[in-house]
Structure 1
Amino acid sequence: MPDSETWTLLRLVRWTTGYFQDHGIESARSEAEILLAHCLGVRRIDLYLNHDKPLTEAELGNFKTLIKRRISREPLAYITGSREFWSLLLAVGPSVLIPRPETECLVEAVLPVLDDPAGKPKRVLDLGTGSGAITIALAHEHPEHRYVAMDRSPAALAIARQNARTHRVDHCINWFCGSWDAALAPDGPRFDLIVSNPPYIRSGDMAALQPEIRLHEPLAALDADQDGLLCLRRIIVSAHDYLRPGGLLALEIGCDQADAVRSIADDVGCYASVRVIKDYSGLDRVFLAHSS
Structure 2
Amino acid sequence: MAADELWTIKRVLDWTSGYLERKGDEHPRLSAEWLLANVTGLSRVELYVNFDKPLEAGELSAMHAAIERRAAGEPLQYVTGEMPFRHIVLKCERGVLIPRPETEILVDAALEGVDAAAEKREKPEDAEKNVRVLEVGTGTGCIALSIASERPGTHVTATDLSERAVALALRNREALGLEDAVDVIECDLASGVDPELMGTFSVLVSNPPYIPTRVLREEVPAEVADFEPELALDGGDDGLDVFRRLLELAPRALEPGGMLAVELFEGALERAAALAREQGGWSRAEVREDLTHRPRILVAVREV
Runs of 4+ with >6 A deviation:
none
2:114, 2:202 within 8 Å by CA — same for their partners in 1? no
Amino acid in structure 2 at the alignment position of 1:35 = L
Superposition deviation, residue 55 in structure 1: 2.6
> Is 1:140–2:183 an aligned residue pair?
no
**Which residue of the partner structure matches residue 196 of structure 1?**
206
1:146, 1:172 within 8 Å by CA — same for their partners in 2? yes
Q: 1:38 & 1:101 partners in 2: Cα distance?
A: 20
Amino acid in structure 2 at the alignment position of 1:134 = I
TM-score, structure 1 as length reference: 0.94
1:186, 1:241 within 8 Å by CA — same for their partners in 2? no
> Is 1:241–2:252 an aligned residue pair?
yes
1:83, 1:92 within 8 Å by CA — same for their partners in 2? yes
Residue ranges of structure 1 left out of the alignment (5+ in a row): none
Alignment of 1:1-292 (within 5 A): 1=1, 6-115=6-115, 116=118, 118=122, 120-184=129-193, 188-190=197-199, 191-207=201-217, 208-292=219-303
Amino acid in structure 2 at the alignment position of 1:161 = L
Q: 2:134 & 2:57 partners in 1: Cα distance?
A: 50
Superposition deviation, residue 258 in structure 1: 1.8
How many residues end up aligned between the 2 structures?
A: 292
Query: Can you list the C-alpha shifts for 1:144-176, whole angstroms capped at 9, x where unaligned?
Result: 122111001122111111111222222011221
Amino acid in structure 1 at the alignment position of 2:263 = E
| Range that drifts further, 208-217 or 277-286 | 208-217
TM-score, structure 2 as length reference: 0.90
Amino acid in structure 2 at the alignment position of 1:16 = T
| Range that drifts further, 186-195 or 102-111 | 186-195
Instruction: Give the 3-state SS of the residue equivalent to 1:171 in structure 2.
Output: coil
1:248, 1:288 within 8 Å by CA — same for their partners in 2? yes
Q: 1:203 & 1:59 partners in 2: Cα distance?
A: 41
Instruction: Give the 3-state SS of the residue equivalent to 2:298 in structure 1.
Output: strand
1:143, 1:169 within 8 Å by CA — same for their partners in 2? no
Identity of aligned residues (%): 36
Superposition deviation, residue 85 in structure 1: 0.6
Instruction: Give the 3-state SS of the residue equivalent to 1:212 in structure 2.
Output: helix
Query: Can you list the C-alpha shifts for 1:217-240, whole angstroms capped at 9, x where unaligned?
Result: 111000011111101111112211
Instruction: Give the 3-state SS of the residue equivalent to 1:170 in structure 2.
Output: coil
| Range that drifts further, 16-25 or 45-54 | 45-54
Amino acid in structure 2 at the alignment position of 1:147 = V
1:272, 1:291 within 8 Å by CA — same for their partners in 2? yes
Q: 2:40 & 2:195 partners in 1: Cα distance?
A: 51
Instruction: Give the 3-state SS of the residue equivalent to 2:7 in structure 1.
Output: coil
Residue ranges of structure 2 left out of the alignment (5+ in a row): none
